[in-house]
């Protein structure tokens, strides 16, 4: 497998990246590209480097991406992830820097020149991959699939209609939704079905690795937010973890091939993903929309991650 992880780390992004590091080699992970979202792109870039430093995987390269959406002002979520973007969880300082070339250039060049089709994991706003597709649409021929955390058929988490990643850059999402690549959508429809309960957190803690402390810290940060506790009294969803866990075991989720469109103009529903679950429209069925998950499987993958990394 050849993987690029596009991310706005981000506490749940960090869990997703650790899952990838525990299950895939440096040869399989072509690189990590960062994008503005949860936090500014410079903070996100440093966090990607910090996560690699912790895991002892500094041969994996980090490429800094877009600092703002294609057409809009940036919306961030420091109130969720902290100003450091990792909820104050003590990842080490990085001992290396990001690469000189930017994320969009790296995406275009590496996808076009890869000997194997490339799987893109999108954990944040779709700005980087949207821009790369706009500038070099032919890369789609060498994309195996785009697995993305974003959207929802059943209401948002940032507005009543929109999930954060799609809301930040709806225009980029629109490009990706119509690029022709195989798209696998991990929306709130599945991420809200897998919660880091106390029992699951204890299983991770019992592995007694440094990684377990970091994983527990990341999920506790999210679980302790009032807005999360209101909906999930014991634990939190770990949205981005679905994307890389799915690459580890694609029986994690099941779903349907349906049409998905995104609202890019209405003030009321900007960033809403309209998922045609009843196949009413005649529109192209462009997305594998996931709607069922084996939640125990997700947390066994996270626990295995905790055992595998230092």
Catalytic residue positions, numbered = 239
Token pair listed for 158: 């940032």
Task: Decide if residue 13 touches ligand RIB (CB under 6 A).
Answer: yes
Please give the residues from 86 up to 105 whose contact with ligand RIB meets the rule CB under 6 A: none
| Closest by CA position to 143, among listed 168, 106, 165, 118 | 118
DSSP state of 69: -
Q: For residue 124, state whether it binds ligand RIB (rule: CB under 6 A).
A: yes
Question: Between residues 145 and 207, which has the closer beta carbon with respect to ligand RIB?
Answer: 145
b/e for 61-90, b at 16 or more Cβ within 10 A? bbbbbbebbbebebbbbeebbbeebbbebe
Q: Kindly indicate which of the ranges 42-50, 73-81, 124-132, 295-303 contains the residues binding Ca ion, using the contact rule CB under 5 A.
A: 124-132
Give me the residue label for tokens 């500038």.
135
CB of 281 to ligand RIB, least distance (A): 25
| Torsion region of 276: left, alpha or beta (phi above 0 gives left; psi -120 to 50 gives alpha) | beta
Site membership for ligand RIB, residue 167 (CB under 6 A): no
Q: Closest approach of Cβ 123 to Ca ion, in Å? A: 4
Binding partner of 46, given ligand RIB, Ca ion, none, CB within 5-8 angstroms per partner class: none
Question: How large is the greatest C-alpha to C-alpha distance in the chain, in angstroms?
Answer: 53
Minimum CB separation of residue 8 from ligand RIB in Å reads: 5
How far apart are alpha carbons 210 and 261 in whole angstroms? Answer: 42
CA distance 11 to 238: 9
Query: Which CB atom, from 65 or from 124, has the smaller least distance to Ca ion?
Result: 124
Stretch that binds Ca ion, among 71-79, 80-88, 237-245, 260-268 (CB under 5 A): 237-245
Name the minimum Å distance from CB 163 to Ca ion.
Answer: 11
The residues binding ligand RIB (CB under 6 A) are 8, 10, 12-13, 37-38, 123-124, 149, 157, 163-165, 239-240
């Amino acid at each position: 497998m050849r993987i690029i992880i596009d991310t706005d780390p981000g506490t749940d992004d960090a869990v997703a990246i650790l899952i990838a590091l525990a299950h895939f080699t440096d040869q399989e992970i072509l690189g990590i590209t960062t994008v503005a979202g949860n936090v500014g792109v410079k903070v996100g870039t440093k966090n990607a480097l910090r996560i690699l430093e912790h895991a002892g995987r500094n041969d994996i390269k980090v490429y800094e991406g877009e600092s703002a959406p294609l057409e809009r002002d940036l919306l961030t979520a420091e109130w969720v992830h902290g100003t450091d973007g990792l909820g104050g969880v003590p990842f080490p300082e990085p001992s290396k820097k990001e690469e000189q070339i930017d994320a969009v250039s790296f995406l275009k060049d590496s996808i076009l020149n890869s000997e194997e089709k490339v799987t893109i994991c999108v954990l944040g706003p779709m700005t980087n991959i949207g821009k790369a597709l706009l500038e070099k649409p032919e890369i789609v021929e060498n994309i195996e699939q785009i697995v993305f955390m974003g959207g929802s058929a059943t209401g948002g988490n940032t507005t009543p209609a929109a999930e954060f990643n799609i809301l930040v850059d709806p225009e980029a999402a629109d490009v990706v939704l119509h690029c022709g690549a195989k798209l696998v959508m991990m929306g709130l429809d599945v991420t809200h079905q897998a919660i880091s309960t106390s029992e699951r957190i204890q299983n991770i803690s019992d592995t007694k690795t440094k990684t377990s402390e970091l994983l527990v810290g990341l999920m506790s940060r999210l679980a302790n937010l009032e807005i999360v506790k209101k909906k999930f009294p014991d634990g939190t969803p770990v949205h981005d973890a679905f994307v890389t866990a799915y690459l580890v075991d694609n029986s994690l989720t099941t779903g349907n091939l349906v049409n998905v469109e995104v609202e890019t103009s209405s003030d009321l529903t900007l960033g809403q993903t309209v998922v045609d679950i009843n196949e009413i429209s005649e529109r192209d069925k462009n997305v594998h929309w996931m709607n069922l998950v084996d939640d125990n499987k997700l947390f066994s993958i996270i626990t295995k991650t905790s055992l595998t990394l230092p």
